[in-house]
Amino acid sequence: MFGACCCRSESNLVCNSLCCVLVVVNISVQLRMTSVTPLRLVSRLFKPVSPVRTITLAYVTKQCDKGSTETYNSSYEPDIGNLYTEEHLSLRKTVRKIIDKDINPHVDEWEAAGEFPIRELFKKLGNAGILGVNMPQEFGGLGLDWSYSLAVAEELGYINCGSIPMAIGVQTEMSTQALAKFGSDELRKQFLAPAVAGDMIASIGVSELSAGSDVAAIKTQAVRKGDDYVINGSKMWITNGLKADWMCMLANTGSGPVHKNKSLIIVPLNTKGIERVKIDKLGMDCSDTAQIFFEDVRVPISYCIGEENHGFLYQMQQFQLERLFASGSLIIGLETIIKETAEYCSQRKAFGYPLINNQIIHYTLAELQTEVEALRALTYRAVARYIRGEDVTYLASMCKLKVGRLARQVTDSCLQYWGGMGYTKEVKVSRMYRDFRLVSIGGGADEVMLGIICKYMETLPTVK
Ligand SMILES: Cc1cc2nc3c(=O)[nH]c(=O)nc-3n(C[C@H](O)[C@H](O)[C@H](O)COP(=O)(O)OP(=O)(O)OC[C@H]3O[C@@H](n4cnc5c(N)ncnc54)[C@H](O)[C@@H]3O)c2cc1C
């Protein structure tokens, strides 16, 4: 869920290019799962609502760099109430089985140890097809549209910590999407296929010590020398960083303007000249986060994803799925905290009656649950539009803003009603209070999301 963006430039660049990104819907894929009924995966078309009415809204009718105008057509509003089919639910059941058998029974132990067996777990997920839901079939993926990835992301919300869903999201949505869309066949064979199979761990290297929100300001350089890039610099806050086999790195490769001088490069992390240092954090205890230093690290020029100096643009596109994943993967976690808090407050008595009888408590929980439903609706709407090939920068930014804000609101309000117990490490609410605090910071801070939304609303003051 990481790296951020330069809000002034991100929306324009994405608007100009993302419209053309279409996710292939495969209608005849057999999931590589043994424990689930074979799936009949059928693509569904979102039917237009009649009567036809077209409205052009200021905030979605955006003048892009090239002067094109996008029109919001209400007649094509996707049916978000119908996003999931039986096949999605089967996929969710498969994910849930792995969570119940191979993840949740061990989470407390892994959190205390400060790490989890990522290699073994990723292999299990890879075998079940979970690491390549939307990836091309020729590289081992299931070739499904992103509604299936949302189904997986939602189900990951049943995991009893934030670290493991985050590690999975880094692998499936944050480090591999640009490679899958723009990488050469050779590069995809070498790095994407093993990541989808769970044989390699991936990481995304955008942020640096001096450049997080302002991605365009990164300093790491990859300079051409013969057939190689020679890389110097460092990356900060890298999730899966200590154990990852490779990094999808954003580095400066040109001398042009800051949005046109960067490339995404696959950097194998066992290469000479790389040093990794663990970072201790407030939460996400079993997630491995590292600062990684690169000194005269050589990788072949052929490891550049797509076209050289197009990396900033590719990364801005990659951010959209990161933000949708962040939103989808927290919904159930937040609901669970509300539910557990309601149960606790029903049992816990003060002044002779259950805490839940206090109107401020049951009303607050009802309010929070309503907010989570609103987040779910927003997320489904964004995903429904994404799988139709639309630019969802505006909605994805809202999803990310809303989930970050709500994660803080739900965990803080609920922790309060657990009293002293909420302040211990014995209960889930305190872990989620720490883990979910990250969501308003990583993957583009709330303020950066607000900047993008303002840009689309055409209310962002222009800098002269
Ligand atoms: C646990 C963890 C895991 C991470 N994993 C990864 C990873 O795998 N890969 C990766 O590349 N990065 C990763 N990140 C980095 C993360 O994306 C950045 O921390 C985030 O983008 C913010 O950057 P920064 O920390 O440099 O904060 P800064 O850019 O210094 O911003 C600090 C604060 O200033 C405010 N701010 C920033 N811009 C504005 C603005 N325009 N207007 C108003 N206020 C503003 C925000 O509140 C922001 O939180 C991770 C971070 C953490 C903590």
Distance 126 CA to ligand 1 centre (A): 30
Tell the residue nearest (CA) to atom 19 of ligand 1. 442
Note the pLDDT of residue 24: 29
Question: Phi/psi of residue 143, each to 5°?
Answer: 65, 30
Going by pLDDT thresholds of 50, 70 and 90, the confidence category of residue 79 is confident
Domain 318-457 has CATH 1.20.140.10: yes
Closest CA to 384 of 372, 374, 396, 373: 396
Q: Which atom of ligand 1 is nearest to the CA of 206?
A: 11
230: amino acid identity, one letter: V
Active site residue 343: no
Going by pLDDT thresholds of 50, 70 and 90, the confidence category of residue 18 is very low
pTM of the model: 0.88
- Please compute Rg for the chain using Cα positions: 22
Please list every protein residue whose CB sits less than 6 Å from any atom of ligand 1.
2-4, 7, 170, 203-207, 212-213, 237-239, 281, 284, 289, 438, 441-445, 447-448, 451
Q: Which atom of ligand 1 is nearest to the CA of 281?
A: 1
435: amino acid identity, one letter: D
Whether residue 333 is predicted with pLDDT greater than 60 in this model: the reply is: yes
More confident residue, 152 or 20: 152
Q: Which atom of ligand 1 is nearest to the CA of 214?
A: 29
Note the pLDDT of residue 20: 31
Whether residue 91 is predicted with pLDDT greater than 50 in this model: the reply is: yes
Residues 383 and 83: beta-carbon distance below 8 Å: yes
Going by pLDDT thresholds of 50, 70 and 90, the confidence category of residue 82 is confident
Ligand 1 pocket: which of 170, 441, 446 to mutate (most atoms within 8 A of CB)? 441
Distance 322 CA to ligand 1 centre (A): 14
Whether residue 104 is predicted with pLDDT greater than 80 in this model: the reply is: yes
Please tell me the distance from the alpha carbon of residue 455 to that of residue 464, in angstroms, as a whole number. Answer: 15
Distance 110 CA to ligand 1 centre (A): 26
Residue 224 falls in which region: left (phi positive, over 0), alpha (psi -120 to 50) or beta: beta
Note the pLDDT of residue 2: 53
Note the pLDDT of residue 168: 98
CA distances from 177 to 85, 122, 256 (A): 24, 17, 25
Average confidence (pLDDT) over 57-85:
52
Tell the residue nearest (CA) to atom 43 of ligand 1. 447
Tell the residue nearest (CA) to atom 30 of ligand 1. 212
Going by pLDDT thresholds of 50, 70 and 90, the confidence category of residue 78 is confident
Fold (topology level) of 204-312: Butyryl-CoA Dehydrogenase, subunit A; domain 2 (2.40.110)
For 377-406, what is each residue's pLDDT tens digit?
999 999 999 999 999 999 999 999 999 999
Ligand 1 pocket: which of 168, 175, 176, 207 to mutate (most atoms within 8 A of CB)? 207
Average confidence (pLDDT) over 350-365:
98
* Location of each CATH 2.40.110.10 domain in the chain: 204-312
Locate tokens 């657990």: which residue?
A: 418
Tell the residue nearest (CA) to atom 7 of ligand 1. 238
Whether residue 71 is predicted with pLDDT greater than 70 in this model: the reply is: no
CA distances from 266 to 11, 48, 131, 174, 210 (A): 25, 42, 18, 13, 22
Closest CA to 3 of 272, 331, 251: 251
Q: Which CATH superfamily is domain 7-196 in?
A: Acyl-CoA dehydrogenase/oxidase, N-terminal domain (1.10.540.10)
Q: Which atom of ligand 1 is nearest to the CA of 438?
A: 53
Residues 81 and 383: beta-carbon distance below 8 Å: no
Whether residue 56 is predicted with pLDDT greater than 50 in this model: the reply is: no
What angle do the packed helices 311-347 and 359-386 form, to 10 degrees? Answer: 150
User: Which 3-state string (H, E, C) describes 293-342?
Assistant: EEEEEEEEHHHECCCCCCHHHHHHHHHHHHHHHHHHHHHHHHHHHHHHHH
Distance 440 CA to ligand 1 centre (A): 9
Tell the residue nearest (CA) to atom 29 of ligand 1. 213
Going by pLDDT thresholds of 50, 70 and 90, the confidence category of residue 464 is low
Note the pLDDT of residue 463: 67
Distance 237 CA to ligand 1 centre (A): 9
More confident residue, 420 or 41: 420
Whether residue 462 is predicted with pLDDT greater than 50 in this model: the reply is: yes
For 190-205, what is each residue's pLDDT tens digit?
999 999 999 999 999 9
Distance 259 CA to ligand 1 centre (A): 19
- State how beta strands 228-239 and 289-300 pair: antiparallel
Distance 446 CA to ligand 1 centre (A): 9
For 150-202, what is each residue's pLDDT tens digit?
999 999 999 999 999 999 999 999 999 999 999 999 999 999 999 999 999 99
Going by pLDDT thresholds of 50, 70 and 90, the confidence category of residue 15 is very low
- Count Cβ neighbours within 10 Å for each residue of 342-372 and write b for 16 or more, e otherwise: bebbeeeeeeeeebbeeeebbebbeebbebb
Note the pLDDT of residue 39: 35
Please tell me the distance from the alpha carbon of residue 210 to that of residue 265, in angstroms, as a whole number. Answer: 20
Ligand 1 pocket: which of 1, 2, 201 to mutate (most atoms within 8 A of CB)? 2
Closest CA to 260 of 416, 406, 65, 79: 65
Count other C-beta atoms under 10 Å from residue 130's C-beta.
27
Please tell me the distance from the alpha carbon of residue 404 to that of residue 380, in angstroms, as a whole number. Answer: 17
Burial zone of 230 (CB within 10 Å; 0-12 exposed, 13-18 middle, 19+ buried): middle
Tell the residue nearest (CA) to atom 24 of ligand 1. 212
Distance 445 CA to ligand 1 centre (A): 6
* Location of each CATH 1.20.140.10 domain in the chain: 318-457
**β-bridge mates for residue 293, sequence order:** 234, 275
Q: Which atom of ligand 1 is nearest to the CA of 441?
A: 49
Whether residue 19 is predicted with pLDDT greater than 90 in this model: the reply is: no
Chain centroid to CA 309: 24
Tell the residue nearest (CA) to atom 35 of ligand 1. 447
Whether residue 30 is predicted with pLDDT greater than 70 in this model: the reply is: no
Q: Which atom of ligand 1 is nearest to the CA of 210?
A: 26
**β-bridge mates for residue 223, sequence order:** 230
More confident residue, 66 or 219: 219
Closest CA to 438 of 329, 336, 340, 293: 329
Tokens of 318: 């990659």
Q: Which of 173, 322, 335, 390 is catalytic?
A: 322
42-46, 68-72, 106-110: segment of lowest average pLDDT: 42-46
Beta-carbon contacts of 449 under 8 Å, excluding residues fewer than 6 positions away, are 7, 323, 397, 398, 400, 401, 404
Q: Which atom of ligand 1 is nearest to the CA of 170?
A: 8
Closest CA to 233 of 244, 247, 245, 331: 247
For 303-330, what is each residue's pLDDT tens digit?
999 999 999 999 999 999 999 999 999 9
Going by pLDDT thresholds of 50, 70 and 90, the confidence category of residue 80 is confident
* Location of each CATH 1.10.540.10 domain in the chain: 7-196
Distance 241 CA to ligand 1 centre (A): 17
